[in-house]
Structure 1
């Protein structure tokens, strides 16, 4: 039985998070070797003088992330080497290239134009009326009064060093990433990040890129333009079906699959790692809204399990605003350098003042504070919409509610996707049909965003949808 040597710092954050972080670091650093059995939760809780529930929460977090496995009769242990996909610690091998929610929304009797929405442009749109204008303005003022003039010149196309330093710390702390500043490249959002990654990977030969089915139809043209040949792979209740994977690389949304909202299960995470290592393949991880998890701490990113195999892309589009066009790519060192060079050849880098402002926002705690506030608010709005759907439309199956900014609704027989989406949009809801996102056939479904739907409007919107769809037949 391992002696874990865990240090608890009272008053320095959630104790479960501290335990999980120390265990995660011990596994990565090789102090806890694959197959090591951990103490029972009751025993470790007694040793640390904390409640058993705190230890259970820490263990569950690491099981979800793939660092631990838990089996009846065996207990909890570090994922063994012979388990599917367990990486070696610190593997750095390069993957082979092979203003308010429309203010008119609350006005009684106002109907949006046909096909439009006043509760969000897209189902994944954040509530931009809550953008922290004053704090962001303070950050910009700080930048303009403190940075030297030379800082406003052409800089490193990989990004401002101060921002990469702050982001590396943030991603290690919040997303359980295994990243250093030199592995980060600042980009203009996830879309540009993915384009740059594929541009680099396709320089030696064409790439067959496995993508989730269903997947965001907005990304498909981008991926193809970047030179990838797409190979759809089905998604089920556990996430991407790794058994059906083929190709040279895969693009996944493991923390909250779009559009289904499924979280990639621990066995599938392990199987995906094995697939990548066995075939010297790359995993492109789109971490688009993982910070908004409502039932527990956000599940750590895949990159933290295999930093030499996973290329992580993220942005502030959901946390702050899409219009900032600030994102990042975390990649193995040589690949990160190739992406940095490609960024320089494309447009010389991202806007400098905004990068310094985000660095200041992260360093002073403004970003964390804003996320905590919005996580509470989005949970209220999600709960209101889910409750209303359960009361008024119990025949609609609601899925994907643990995280993110949207719900996945499987529609009852007789509800055609086009008609249902039109009805939802005419009520102001941000809705999209799932059919155009699929290659394989599936039950009729639609995605509905809740980030801009006020709590007091949820029941009214659902009742309106019920009336609109009463007696409808499928199209």
Structure 2
């Protein structure tokens, strides 16, 4: 009597779709699902590869490939002389497995409180659309020029920039040399290439500084208002954060000493306070350096866009006052392009290895090819030319924006500042900046509200208005749109109207709930 091939009904295999391709993977996925749902039980014998291939209209090799993969993964067992069977020990999968499209079962795995912080931070990191008044948008005349493209094409075609092994986490030596030369010439920074560590930008520099300089429970000063990611980094490190208010001269150093004289580190933006815009005055710089020397503290200087000053030369870096106490952070994001993801740390020599080690924990280094391109761009003098060019363009557009705001919205008070890529406009009392920014997005303009950057004890209401990559006509049109948005919040005489009061109340209630 002829031997009859064993054929088992496997309903899930009827879903094979040859048009999707990867038929062998589909067969394997279908078999996994059948086992997980107990359609196939432990020890149950499967059809031979020949029989299953025939019933599915597939090649035997395709089914053999699927069987071999599942045997390797432990779903099936090949038993000589008795065919291929479902592996034992999988009986509980039906109640616990979560296959694609399946319904989750059982309680959710527990998560630490930090997950909520990271989730909230992710929502705040969503970039604004690249429309007026978004900050740091290198479009049009302020985008990288033909020199950048030519240098990039030449360097990328060279053997030096060819893909190779792991990069040096400290950064490409040629780029560190070029940065050291530039910083000595333009920023009065006391450094050598050996003291520079390449990062993915100022944000990563802040994270590394917190990791290296602070232990959980250490006290640190941060400006008030401040870059939101900075305060998130310090809180994530477990630091005791003391928010120190800023005024027309920058961070109030005397107030910081009174509040917390034993702080381990101070995080400050001395050349262009973020987000307000004023520089830290020289008496306060000297007072901060003196405090660091007396108390054994560190100063972390975030020098994110100091090149863009319009009323004179950029302010010198604080690092030049004391290179042993100041950790200097710089970036190419603002003056070149955020997507480059290149920045740098200048550290005292005895801390360089610590920063390199901390850098290595979160990534082995920045892309080598881009480092080669930026190094050549700096060394050949094109970076200096680019800075001079965009400084002139930004100055003109800043003036256009300020003139348009004065003409269309005289009730707004502009915070005095002569550098950067944004201005701060104060809203009349009672107008909620978060509600204004929300309505502005619906009108096609992108604003940042100032109040989320403040501590709970500081209640400010203002708008950050960027002018970087937008033409004069686009800026004027955006101001008119902003005027229409604010009409719902302010009367013609600049006072808060009924609609504005209602929206402000709703926004305040939302803040309390958060």
Deviation of the 1:272 alpha carbon? 1.1
Cα deviation for residue 124 of structure 1 reads: 4.2
2:467 to 450, 460, 463: 450
Match of 1:175 among 169, 184, 187: 187
Alignment of 1:229-240 (within 5 A): 229-240=240-251
Instruction: Please tell me whether the aligned partners of residues 126 and 321 of structure 1 are also in contact (alpha carbons under 8 angstroms).
Output: yes
Query: Which piece of structure 1 moves more, 128-137 or 280-289?
Result: 128-137
Distance 1:329 1:450, change over 3 A: same
5 Å-filtered alignment, 1:47-196, equals 117-119=129-131, 122-127=134-139, 130-132=142-144, 134-148=146-160, 152-196=164-208
- Equivalent pairs counted in the alignment come to 360
Q: Deviations over 1:428-450 (max 9, x none)?
A: 33311111111133342111111
* CA deviation map 1:264-291 (0-9, x unaligned): 1111111111111111100001111111
Residues 1:431 and 1:135: Cα distance change in structure 2 (over 3 Å): same
2:252 equivalent to 1:241: yes
Contact 2:133 2:478 in 1 (8 A): no
Partner of 2:301: 285
Q: Tell me which of 321, 340, 350 is aligned to 1:305.
A: 321
Cα distance change of structure 1 residues 244 and 120 upon mapping to structure 2, 3 Å threshold: same
Alpha carbons of 1:426 and 1:307: their partners in 2 closer, same or farther (altered >3 Å)? same
Which structure would you say has the larger Rg?
A: 2
Distance 1:307 1:385 in 2: 38
Structure 1: give runs of 5+ residues left out of the alignment: 1-114
Match of 1:418 among 397, 414, 434: 434
Pick closer, same or farther for the CA change 1:240–1:149 going to 2, 3 Å. closer
Q: Secondary structure at the match of 1:453?
A: coil
Task: Find the aligned partners of 2:477 and 2:154 in 1 and give their Cα distance.
Answer: 44
- Structure with larger RCO (C-alpha < 8 A, sep 6+): 1
SS of equivalent residue, structure 1 residue 285: strand
Q: Does the Cα contact within 8 Å between 1:423 and 1:465 map onto a contact in 2? A: no
Q: Could you report, residue by residue, the CA deviation over 1:352-396 in whole angstroms, capped at 9, with x for unpaired residues?
A: 111111110001111111111111111111100101111222221
* TM-fit CA distance, 1:121: 8.1
Contact 2:434 2:449 survives alignment (8 Å): yes
Alpha-carbon displacement from aligned partner over 1:24-76 (angstroms, at most 9, x marks no partner): xxxxxxxxxxxxxxxxxxxxxxxxxxxxxxxxxxxxxxxxxxxxxxxxxxxxx
CA distance in 1, matches of 2:322, 2:462: 34
Q: Are the counterparts in 2 of residues 152 and 353 from structure 1 also a CA contact under 8 Å?
A: no
Cross-structure match for 1:210:
221
Q: Deviations over 1:99-118 (max 9, x none)?
A: xxxxxxxxxxxxxxxx9744
CA contact (8 A) 2:378 2:384 kept: yes
**CA gap 1:347/1:465 in 2 versus in 1, 3 angstroms:** closer
SS in 2 for 1:231: strand
TM-score (norm 1): 0.71
Indicate how the Cα distance of structure 1 residues 420 and 265 shifts in structure 2: closer, same or farther if over 3 A, else same: same
The 5 A counterparts of 1:215-234 are 215-234=226-245
CA deviation after TM superposition for structure 1 residue 169, in Å = 0.5
Match of 1:433 in 2: 449
